[in-house]
C-alpha cells in the first residue's frame, strides 16, 4: 500500500511537470494538456486513482494546495499595478460578480433542471475563475497590460468570494427552509469578517518581522509558507471555506507593504505554484469516474454550459463595465475569457455532499455540472485566447521583442538592425542624453532605471522576451541580468563582455550569457561604430554556407545575431554549436574597409563579365 501511494505521488508530480513542458514545447494551453493527461491515466486507462490512493487526506491536500496557489497569486496584487483601471476591476468584482451569480442561478434552474435552491447555491460558486487557470493562460497569450491585469485581479480577488458567495447562498437556503436560525446567518457574516481580519493582521505582522530582520534570510520563504498554511487552517476551522478569504487578504496586505524581500518570496511561491497547479489538475482529473464523465453528455448540461459562456459571462462584463473607459475590444475579450478551475472543482464536491445530505435530491448533479463547465471553458478559452487577442489587437506582440539596457551608439545601431526584422525593441537608460542616438533612429526609448519600481509599474515589458545589458558598468549589467532571470530565463538574457578584470574571476551564476566574444566589450563596440562600422545582413544559401561565412574575413566582421527562416532570433552566433541552415540571415557589424572591398570586388566582377 505504501509503495502504491509513493508511486502515485511521484507519478502525479512527474506527469504534471511533463504536461507543462509539452505545453511549452508545442505552444499549447497548459491547463488543457494537464486535464487530458489526468483523464488518460485516470478514468480512461485506470492506471491509478489519487482519490483512492490518498484516502481521507485527498481533500485536505487539495485544499492546502489551493490556499498556497491563491496566496501566491494575491502576493502579486500590488495596487500600483492597476493605476488607471481600478474602477474596472472593482465593478467587475462586485457588480459583475452579482450579475453572474443571479443570471447563472437562473440558467442552472431553467436550463440544467436544478431546483431553485440548489441553483442559487451553485450559481454563486460559478462566478470564480481563479489563478490556477487564469495565470497559465496569461503566460501563454501575452496580452497587453490592461486586459491582462484585469483578468488576473478578477481571477484572484473573486476566487475566495465565489466560495463564500456559494456558502452565503447555502445559509440563505437553509434559513428559508428553516434548517437554521437567523443567528446562524449572522454568525456567517461574522466568521467571514473575522477570517479576512485574521489574514490581514497575519500578513502585516509577518511583513514587519521580515522587514525588521527578525527572520533570517534562509528562513523567510519557509516561514511565509508555514504561516499561510496556519492562517488557512485556523480560518477554515472557524467556518468552512473562509480560509481562502484569509490567505487572499494576507497576500494582498503583504504585496502592498512593499517589502524589500517581496520579489524573492514571489519567485519562491511561483515555483511552488507551478508544481502545485500541475499536480492538482492531474489529481482531480485522474480521480474522476467514467460514470461522472458520462453524466456530462446530458443535453441539458450542454445547453447550460453554452449559456454560461455566451450569455452569462458577456452580459455580466458588458453591464458592469459601462462607463469605465474600457474599449469594445477589451470588453469583448474579458467577456469571453472565464475558465473555471480547481476551486470550482474542489468546493463543488463539498456543496454536493451537504445539499444531498440535507434532502435536496438534485444535489448530486452538481459535480457533473461543474465538470462540464470546467472542461468546456478550459478547452474553449485555452485554445481561443491567443487567437482572439490577436484578432482584437490586444496581444502585446507575436514577435519576440528585445529590451536593450544602455543608451550608446552601438545600442542604437543594434536596435535599428533588430527593428528592421519587425522585432519590438526598446532601449532603456538612466540618462536622457544617452538615448539621443537611439531616438534619432526612431527607436522606442525609456528614460529610467530598469531596476526601479517606477519602470516596473509604468513601462509595459510584456512584448520583450530577450534582454541585452549593454551599459558601460559590468557590475550593473550583471545585476540587471540577475534581476530578470526568473521572468525571462537565463537562455534569453545577455550582457556585453566584461572589460575590467579577468572574466574568469566572476562566478558563472552571476549575470547573463556573453553577448559576443570577449574582445568585443561595449567600449570596443562603440569605438567601432564611431569608426564607421556598419550593419551587414548575410543570407545563407546552398552556395554560401555558414562555414563560408566564418572563413570570409571574420576579423573584419562581428556577428551580432541571426534570424532564422521562421523569423526566430538567435544570439551568440559564433559561440553557438550549430550549423545554420540556408535561408538564415546573419546580421553583423562590418568594417567600412570590408564594405569597400566588397564593392570593389563586385565592380571587378561586373567589369570582367562585360569584357567577356
Instruction: Give me the residue spans of the domains in the chain.
Output: 64-391, 401-611
Give strand pairing partners of 405.
428, 469
**Residue 9 pLDDT > 70, yes or no?**
yes
C-alpha angle 397/23/278, rounded to 5°? 120
- pLDDT, tens digit (0-9, with 9 covering 90-100), for 519-538: 888 999 999 999 888 898 98
Q: Is residue 596 very low, low, confident or very high in pLDDT (cuts 50, 70, 90)?
A: low
> How far, in Å, CA of 554 to CA of 552, rounded?
6
Average pLDDT over residues 312-324: 93
Which single residue is written with the C-alpha cell 459601462? Answer: 322
Q: Are 374 and 345 in contact (CB under 8 A)?
A: yes
Instruction: Bin 241: left if φ > 0, else alpha if -120 < ψ < 50, else beta.
Output: left
Residue 268: its pLDDT value, please?
A: 73
Q: How far, CA to CA in Å, does 224 sit from each of 60, 201, 530?
A: 19, 14, 53
Orientation of helix 342-357 relative to helix 366-391, angle to 10°? 160
Residue 594: its pLDDT value, please?
A: 59
Count of CB atoms within 10 A of residue 94's CB?
14
> What's CA 421's distance to the chain center, in Å?
27
401-611: CATH architecture: 3-Layer(aba) Sandwich (3.40)
Half-sphere exposure of 243 (CA within 13 A, CB side): 23
64-391: CATH architecture: Up-down Bundle (1.20)
Give strand pairing partners of 404.
427, 468
Q: Is residue 95 very low, low, confident or very high in pLDDT (cuts 50, 70, 90)?
A: very high
Q: Is residue 611 very low, low, confident or very high in pLDDT (cuts 50, 70, 90)?
A: very low
Q: How confident is the prediction for the chain on average, in pLDDT?
A: 83
C-alpha angle 462/464/469, rounded to 5°? 130
User: What is the DSSP code string of 432-476?
Assistant: TGGGHHHHHTT-EEEES-TTSHHHHHHS--TTEEEEEE--S-HHH
pTM comes to 0.70
3-class secondary-structure state, position 345: helix
- pLDDT, tens digit (0-9, with 9 covering 90-100), for 406-434: 999 999 999 999 999 988 899 999 888 89
**CA end-to-end span of the chain:** 88
- pLDDT, tens digit (0-9, with 9 covering 90-100), for 340-360: 877 777 777 777 777 887 888
> How far, in Å, CA of 568 to CA of 428, rounded?
23
- pLDDT, tens digit (0-9, with 9 covering 90-100), for 112-130: 888 888 898 888 888 888 6
Give residues with Cβ within 8 angstroms of 170, minimum separation 6: 121, 351, 354, 355
> What's CA 404's distance to the chain center, in Å?
23
Residue 258: its pLDDT value, please?
A: 81
- What is the DSSP pairing of strand 493-495 with strand 557-563? unpaired
What percent of the residues of the chain are helix, what percent strand, and what percent coil, each to the nearest 5? 65, 10, 25
The length of the chain is 612
Which single residue is written with the C-alpha cell 474602477? Answer: 87
Count of CB atoms within 10 A of residue 548's CB?
12
Amino acid at each position: 500500500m505504501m509503495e502504491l501511494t509513493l508511486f502515485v505521488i511521484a507519478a502525479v508530480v512527474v506527469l504534471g511537470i511533463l504536461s507543462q513542458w509539452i505545453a511549452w514545447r508545442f505552444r499549447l494551453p497548459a491547463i488543457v494538456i494537464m486535464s487530458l493527461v489526468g483523464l488518460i491515466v485516470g478514468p480512461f486507462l485506470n492506471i491509478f486513482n489519487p482519490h483512492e490512493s490518498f484516502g481521507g487526506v485527498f481533500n485536505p491536500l487539495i485544499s492546502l494546495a489551493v490556499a498556497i496557489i491563491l496566496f501566491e497569486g494575491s502576493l502579486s496584487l500590488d495596487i500600483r499595478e492597476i493605476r488607471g483601471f481600478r474602477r474596472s476591476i472593482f465593478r467587475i468584482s462586485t457588480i459583475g460578480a452579482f450579475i453572474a451569480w443571479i443570471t447563472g442561478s437562473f440558467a442552472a434552474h431553467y436550463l440544467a433542471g436544478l431546483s431553485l435552491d440548489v441553483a442559487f447555491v451553485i450559481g454563486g460558486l460559478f462566478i470564480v475563475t481563479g489563478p490556477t487557470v487564469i495565470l497559465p493562460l496569461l503566460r501563454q497569450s501575452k496580452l497587453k497590460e490592461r486586459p491582462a491585469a484585469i483578468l488576473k485581479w478578477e481571477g484572484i480577488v473573486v476566487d475566495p468570494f465565489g466560495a463564500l458567495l456559494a456558502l452565503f447562498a447555502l445559509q440563505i437556503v437553509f434559513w428559508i427552509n428553516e434548517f437554521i436560525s437567523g443567528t446562524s446567518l449572522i454568525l456567517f457574516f461574522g466568521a467571514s469578517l473575522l477570517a479576512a481580519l485574521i489574514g490581514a493582521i497575519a500578513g502585516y505582522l509577518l511583513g514587519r518581522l521580515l522587514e525588521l530582520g527578525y527572520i533570517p534570510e534562509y528562513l523567510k520563504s519557509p516561514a511565509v509558507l508555514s504561516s499561510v498554511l496556519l492562517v488557512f487552517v485556523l480560518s477554515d476551522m472557524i467556518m468552512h471555506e473562509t480560509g481562502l478569504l484569509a490567505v487572499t487578504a494576507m497576500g494582498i496586505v503583504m504585496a502592498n507593504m512593499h517589502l524589500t524581500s517581496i520579489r524573492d518570496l514571489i519567485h519562491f511561491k511561483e515555483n511552488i505554484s507551478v508544481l502545485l497547479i500541475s499536480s492538482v489538475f492531474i489529481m482531480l482529473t485522474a480521480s474522476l469516474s467514467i460514470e461522472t464523465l458520462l453524466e456530462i453528455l446530458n443535453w441539458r448540461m450542454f445547453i447550460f454550459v453554452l449559456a454560461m459562456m455566451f450569455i452569462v459571462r458577456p452580459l455580466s462584463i458588458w453591464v458592469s463595465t459601462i462607463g469605465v473607459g474600457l474599449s469594445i475590444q477589451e470588453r469583448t475579450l474579458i467577456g469571453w475569457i472565464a475558465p473555471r478551475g480547481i476551486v470550482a472543482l474542489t468546493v463543488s464536491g463539498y456543496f454536493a455532499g451537504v445539499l444531498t445530505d440535507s434532502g435536496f435530491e438534485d444535489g448530486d448533479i452538481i459535480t457533473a455540472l461543474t465538470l462540464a463547465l470546467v472542461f468546456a471553458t478550459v478547452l474553449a478559452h485555452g485554445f481561443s485566447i491567443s487567437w482572439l487577442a490577436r484578432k482584437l489587437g490586444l496581444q502585446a506582440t507575436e514577435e519576440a521583442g528585445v529590451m536593450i539596457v544602455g543608451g550608446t551608439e552601438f545600442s542604437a545601431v543594434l536596435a535599428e538592425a533588430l527593428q528592421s526584422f519587425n522585432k519590438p525593441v526598446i532601449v532603456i537608460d538612466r540618462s536622457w542624453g544617452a538615448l539621443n542616438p537611439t531616438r534619432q533612429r526612431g527607436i522606442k526609448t525609456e528614460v529610467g532605471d530598469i531596476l526601479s519600481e517606477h519602470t516596473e509599474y509604468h513601462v509595459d515589458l510584456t512584448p520583450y522576451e530577450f534582454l541585452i545589458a549593454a551599459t558601460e558598468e559590468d557590475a550593473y549589467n550583471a545585476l540587471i541580468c540577475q534581476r530578470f532571470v526568473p521572468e525571462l530565463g537565463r537562455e534569453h538574457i545577455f550582457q556585453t563582455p566584461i572589460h575590467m578584470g579577468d572574466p574568469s574571476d566572476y562566478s558563472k551564476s552571476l549575470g547573463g550569457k556573453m553577448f559576443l566574444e570577449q574582445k568585443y566589450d561595449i567600449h570596443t563596440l562603440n569605438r567601432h561604430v564611431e569608426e564607421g562600422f556598419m550593419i551587414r545582413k548575410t543570407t545563407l544559401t546552398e552556395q554560401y554556407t555558414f562555414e563560408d561565412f566564418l572563413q570570409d574575413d571574420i576579423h573584419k566582421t562581428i556577428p551580432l545575431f541571426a534570424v532564422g527562416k521562421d523569423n526566430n532570433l538567435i544570439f551568440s552566433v559564433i559561440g553557438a554549436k550549430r550549423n545554420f541552415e540556408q535561408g538564415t540571415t546573419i546580421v553583423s557589424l562590418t568594417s567600412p574597409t570590408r564594405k569597400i572591398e566588397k564593392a570593389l570586388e563586385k565592380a571587378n566582377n561586373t567589369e570582367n563579365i562585360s569584357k567577356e
